[in-house]
């Protein structure tokens, strides 16, 4: 999910327009295989439980624009449930389950990228200065453990700043801006850091591992949006057969302007679409009911409207009817200052009726997030059941 942080709005109109420009320039053919020649048809893949899929995806490095490790996992995890898998020029993963001729073509979209950091410069003393990739609140950065992913290996480090003991009083009252922070990996100097293989453009992730907190509640890195990716894989597993053709897309660069969704939707040209993403769980201290009524453990959330999308009425009715018929508890949300891939997909070509199924998640866009596995299961169940009924609505 793209969100607003301070005065910076990630996924603004300017960024969305830029994504459309990329789309028009780069997509000449419907689906184009990447240079790595990934093109799978009914080959063996990786069959794991929903929980196991989420764990593997959460622990992987996939900072926006550097999603290759997650991409490879997604290919393996989707293989058993797809008739064909392709990877386009932007490196979106597209898993196709073929339906009957004349039935609707449905696009599922779950972005593979995570918010993170990227090496910007190396100081003469061997410290790493970084840029932010996606909407990250500067307040959560100091003292975080991180991992710098070089071409050959990965190095642990920590985000450092001027010690509070020598700060002036006015400095201690201010939020430290990210450009006043640095990463310490223990290098002696710039030459030592370079000899380790650290280079400008290397992705940096938070050093967090997936774990279970209590029964059915888990914590980990990058649940925005590896949770949506896991739900999409589970949805494809549940779809034993479907009249509709389903294109399950792991998109890239969502956190910096919904870019992968733009090109993938243009190439696929779906009849309708569902984005699978996370949303803010408001069941924590300090969050008002007015801000959000969505709670963790109470089922998936359906978006009525957000800053980039007003859900198409037919899509909303289709999902609401399905939830009622299948006795799936759902929550409704409206007015969030963020958006999902559905915003970009909905205005592709002549327009694509689109909606979003979201997993309530605490502390998104921070190093650690928390969610309920039951919410994941119900989200996949809702998406799969809706796809089975789609031909009667569209």
- Rama region for 133: left / alpha / beta (φ>0; ψ in -120 to 50; rest): beta
Residue 313 contacts by C-beta under 8 Å, 6 or more apart in sequence? none
306, two tokens: 């957000």
**What b/e string do you get for 13-49 counting C-beta neighbours within 10 Å, with b at 16 or more?**
eebbebbbebbeebbeeebeebeeeeebeeeebbeee
Tell me the CA distances in angstroms from 236 to 44, 68, 247, 248, 341, one per residue in order. Answer: 15, 21, 10, 8, 19
Residue 385 contacts by C-beta under 8 Å, 6 or more apart in sequence? 322, 325, 326, 328
From CA 183, how far away is CA 141, in angstroms rounded? 10
Query: Is 114 a catalytic site residue?
Result: no
User: How long a stretch of residues is the chain?
Assistant: 394
Say whether the peptide bond before residue 136 is cis (omega within 30 degrees of 0). no
Tell me if 358 sits within 8 A of 350, measured CB to CB. no
- DSSP assignment of 200-258 equals TT-EEEE----EEEETTEEEES-HHHHHHHHHHHHHHHH-SS-SSEEEEEEES-GGGTS
Residues 91, 234, 254, 333: which is the catalytic one? 254
Phi, psi of 339 (to 5 degrees): -155, 180
β-partners of residue 279 are 360
**Is residue 289 classed as helix, strand or coil in its secondary structure?**
coil
Helix (H) or strand (E) holding 342: helix 341-346
Residue reference for tokens 């450009």: 179
Just list the catalytic residues.
254
């Amino acid at each position: 999910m793209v969100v607003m942080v301070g005065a910076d709005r990630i996924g603004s109109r300017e960024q969305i327009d830029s994504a459309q420009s990329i789309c028009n320039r780069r997509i000449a053919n419907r689906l184009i295989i990447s240079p790595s020649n990934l093109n799978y048809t009914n080959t063996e893949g990786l069959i794991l439980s929903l929980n196991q899929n989420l764990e593997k995806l959460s622990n992987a490095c996939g900072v926006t624009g550097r999603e290759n490790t997650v991409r490879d996992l997604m290919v393996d995890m989707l293989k058993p449930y797809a008739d064909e898998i392709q990877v386009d020029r932007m490196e979106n993963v597209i898993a196709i389950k073929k339906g009957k001729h004349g039935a609707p073509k449905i696009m599922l979209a779950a972005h593979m990228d995570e918010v993170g950091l990227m090496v910007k410069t190396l100081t003469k003393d061997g410290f790493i200065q970084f840029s932010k990739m996606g909407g990250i609140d500067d307040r959560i950065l100091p003292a975080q453990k991180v991992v710098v992913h070089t071409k050959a290996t990965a190095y642990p480090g920590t985000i450092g700043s001027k010690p509070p003991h020598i700060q002036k009083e006015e400095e201690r009252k201010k939020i430290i801006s990210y450009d006043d922070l640095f990463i310490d990996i223990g290098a002696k100097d710039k030459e030592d850091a370079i000899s380790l293989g650290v280079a400008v453009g290397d992705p940096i992730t938070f050093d967090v591992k997936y774990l279970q907190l209590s029964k059915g509640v888990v914590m980990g890195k990058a649940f925005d949006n590896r949770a949506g990716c896991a739900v999409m894989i589970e949805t494809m597993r549940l779809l034993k057969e479907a009249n509709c053709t389903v294109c399950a897309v792991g998109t890239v660069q969502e956190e910096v302007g919904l870019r992968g969704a733009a090109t993938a939707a243009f190439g696929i040209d779906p009849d309708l679409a569902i984005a699978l993403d996370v949303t803010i769980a408001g069941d924590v201290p300090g969050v008002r009911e007015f801000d959000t009524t969505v709670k963790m453990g109470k089922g998936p959330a359906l978006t009525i409207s957000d800053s980039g999308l007003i859900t198409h009425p037919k899509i909303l009715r289709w999902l609401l009817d399905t939830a009622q018929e299948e006795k799936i508890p759902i929550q409704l949300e409206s007015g969030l200052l963020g958006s999902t891939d559905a915003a970009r997909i909905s205005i592709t070509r002549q327009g694509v009726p689109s909606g979003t199924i979201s997993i309530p998640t605490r502390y998104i866009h921070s190093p650690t997030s928390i969610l309920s596995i039951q919410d994941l299961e119900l989200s996949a169940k809702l998406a799969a059941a809706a796809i089975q009924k789609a031909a009667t609505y569209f």
